[in-house]
A = this chain, B = another copy of it.
């Protein structure tokens, strides 16, 4: 995230394992990140994936309403279904309230 948001704020922790099916995945992932960044209440995003196919994306939001809006975005709904059908062997989505935060360095 570019700024230091003060709690409380919210995170969606998306942990996943990919299938071996690659066609369309990178384009979808890039497109969804672009779309998320344009949503009201979006605060930031961090994404990592290991060579073994395990990965995590954490997106940060101002409110649960902002998360719900993004979840229901038509293009995102389509991507979620394609994800289940093609790209993800399994995943877990956790909705989290960030209660406190500590930065190093402090300033």
* Interfacial residues, chain A to chain B (CB-CB below 8 A): 11, 13, 15, 46, 48-50, 54-56, 58, 84, 88, 90-105
Alpha-carbon separation in the docked complex, A55 to B55 (Å): 11
Residues in B with CB closer than 8 Å to A104 are 84, 88, 90-92
Query: Which residues on the B side are within 8 Å of A46 (C-beta)?
Result: 15, 54, 56
Contact A100 B90 (CB under 8 A): no
Give every chain B residue within 8 A of A56 (Cβ-Cβ): 46, 48, 56, 58
- Residues of B near A15 (CB, < 8 A) are 46, 58
The answer to whether A96 and B96 touch (CB under 8 A), given A48-B50, A58-B56, is yes
In angstroms, Cα B48 to Cα A54, docked, is 9
The contact sample of 29 A-B pairs, CB cut-off 8 A, is: A11-B13, A11-B94, A11-B96, A13-B58, A13-B96, A13-B98, A48-B55, A48-B56, A56-B56, A56-B58, A58-B58, A90-B104, A91-B103, A91-B104, A92-B101, A92-B102, A92-B103, A92-B104, A94-B98, A94-B100, A94-B102, A95-B98, A95-B99, A95-B100, A95-B101, A96-B97, A96-B98, A96-B99, A97-B99
